[in-house]
Amino acid sequence: MACRDACRGLEQRHNGIFGGCWCTYFHDCAERGPGYEGGRAFKQLMVEAGVAHAALVMVGDEAIAWAEYGTPDELPNIHHSKQYLAEADVMPDYRITCIFVDKRYRRQQYAKVALAGALDLIAAQGGGVVEGYPHEIGEKRMNNSFVYNGTRTMYEQAGFEFVRSKGLKNTVMRRTVQPA
């Protein structure tokens, strides 16, 4: 089964991911049409243009998780971007903007597997400075929909260092990935 077909299955099982985002939110969405169909068509356009990148986690022929990554030019729309840009000391070579796990497989460490896969793909593409924007989880449990990029703890376990807070419960984490 082709990767795109497996990925499409995951998207369809979850109503286009997060209610129709299709993992397009962090891209420049000027060409995206309205609604569910607009998101799906825009995602296909980005895949065909080679600007949609993700590490897929597979169980058999079924995609069960992914980590979206790309350059800042490919993924310019990050949450709290005004604050981020005002406080930026360096621009990363790559960003990890979204990690999604099929609801049947959550709380089984697949987000970590997806993150590691994205880092491996970045290494294969020459490596560089990589940023992620995980969430600070406090005492209260957060809804899974709001933890679309994992947690600070997960990123620390993957070798990222805390750079600063961004917004209310978001962080900027950074790591250098050596070329493969």
77 within a domain of the structure (yes/no): yes
12 within a domain of the structure (yes/no): no
CA distance linking residue 154 with residue 39, whole number of Å: 29
Q: Is the pLDDT of residue 107 over 80?
A: yes
pTM of the model: 0.84
The whole-number average pLDDT for the span 87-111 is 91
What's the pLDDT score for residue 1?
45
11 within a domain of the structure (yes/no): no
CA distance linking residue 103 with residue 118, whole number of Å: 20
19 within a domain of the structure (yes/no): no
36 within a domain of the structure (yes/no): no
Q: How confident is the model at residue 71 (pLDDT cuts 50, 70, 90)?
A: very high
- Between 162 and 59, the more confident residue is 162
**Is residue 154 classed as helix, strand or coil in its secondary structure?**
helix
What's the pLDDT score for residue 132?
94
- Tell me the CATH number at 170: 3.40.630.30
Which range of residues forms the domain containing residue 69? 54-177
> What is the distance between the terminal CA atoms of the chain, rounded to a whole angstrom?
26
What is the rounded average pLDDT for all residues in the chain?
Answer: 82
What sign does the CA torsion over 151, 115, 70, 18 have?
Answer: negative
107 within a domain of the structure (yes/no): yes
The whole-number average pLDDT for the span 43-47 is 73
Tally of domains in the chain: 1
